[in-house]
Amino acid sequence: MLFILRLTNGDCVITMAADEQGARAAATKLSANDRTQVASVRPFGRLAVQFSPTEDGSLEVTRWDDATLDDILKSEYPLLNEAFRRANAEPFARATDPEEPILSHLRAAHQRNTEIIRQGLQLERERFSKETVPVKRSTKSKTSPAHT
């Protein structure tokens, strides 16, 4: 059976195990931080992930099934999911000054969306943690639910 485990450092682990105890053991083995604990465990009914080999011979996640990602965001990262919704609902404001370039308005909208999502991410990282966890920056993700 597939399980998804939310960790206190903000990460999630998806593992196949016979039961919850086996899933917890697998997640503990993956965690590099001894202080990180399992915050929640639930059965995970659907998983579709595409991997692609890189030039250096490693594998990289190149695509998630939308339903898989939606399920993870909705159940494991509800505050981040809400931030994505708020960012996507931000209206595009037309320039009030016709001489002002539209590109500056696009940049400002992108910055607003990015800040909303960053705040949601920070809240998620702190949700199960007693300490403030710094935001990890990654360039490996090929898909994002935010449409900025």
Kindly report, residue by residue over 89-124, the tens digit of the pLDDT: 877 665 566 666 777 778 888 899 999 999 999 998
- Ordered by start, the domain boundaries in the chain are 1-76, 78-135
pLDDT tens profile 17-31 = 999 999 999 998 887
In the prediction, which pLDDT does 114 show?
Answer: 92
Residue 135 has a pLDDT of 47
pLDDT value, residue 139: 47
- For the CA atoms of 82, 76, 114, 32, the dihedral, rounded to the nearest 10 degrees, stands at 160
Determine the pLDDT at residue 100.
66
* pTM of the full structure: 0.70
CB atoms within 10 A of CB 49: 12
Please name the amino acid found at residue 50. Answer: Q
- CA-nearest of 90, 7, 135 to 15 is 7
34-81 per-position pLDDT tens digit: 788 899 999 998 899 999 999 999 999 999 899 998 999 999 999 999
Count CB-CB contacts under 10 A for residue 72.
19
